[in-house]
């Protein structure tokens, strides 16, 4: 699932492809939200994650607000068994570095790949 503001159709396609590849590789559900938070960032990210419904248990949500330079990674209980805080932090640092260099899409694609790769090691 991708919810995004201000992407070209090519950029959205690239992110969707990365999401599907991450899901195939890891067996987890991946979602990305690009845009501003409505309220406190972490709380908003957790609400978005919960909105995934039955899939939330095995889901990984990446929230990015480029305008506020904010990034959150939220994992469900089953996903957290395979992607702990340390693994999510490594991927977040990589994404943030790319974002800082102006590469939003590349950062997300690389971040999805990293998260899927790290999760697949604990399958």
pLDDT in tens, 96-119: 999 999 999 999 999 999 999 999
pLDDT of residue 1: 72
CA 112 → CA 17, 18, 38, 40, 92, distances in Å?
Answer: 10, 6, 24, 24, 10
pLDDT of residue 52: 96
Q: Domain 1-83: give its CATH architecture.
A: Roll (3.10)
The structural domains of the chain, with segments of one domain joined by +, span 1-83
Range from 23-27, 59-63, 117-121 carrying the lowest mean pLDDT: 117-121
3-state SS class at 21 = helix
- Regarding pTM above 0.85, the answer is yes
Taking the C-alpha atoms of residue 100 and residue 123, their distance in angstroms, rounded to an integer, is: 32
Over residues 67-87, the pLDDT tens digits come to: 898 999 999 999 999 999 999
Cα 50 to the center of its chain, rounded Å: 14
User: What letters, b where the CB count within 10 A reaches 16 and e where it falls short, cover 84-108?
Assistant: eeebbeebbebbbebbeeeebbbbb
């Amino acid at each position: 699932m991708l919810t995004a503001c201000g992407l070209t159709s090519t950029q959205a396609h690239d992110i969707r492809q990365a999401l599907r590849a991450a899901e195939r590789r890891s067996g987890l559900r991946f979602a990305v939200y690009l845009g501003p938070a409505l309220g406190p960032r972490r709380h908003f990210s957790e609400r978005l994650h919960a909105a995934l419904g039955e899939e939330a248990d095995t889901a990984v949500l990446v929230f990015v607000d480029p305008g506020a330079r904010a990034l959150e990674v939220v994992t469900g209980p089953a996903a957290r068994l395979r992607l702990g805080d340390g693994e999510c932090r490594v991927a977040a640092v990589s994404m943030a570095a790319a974002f800082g260099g102006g590469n939003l899409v590349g950062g997300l694609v690389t971040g999805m790949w990293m998260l899927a790769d790290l999760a697949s090691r604990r399958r």
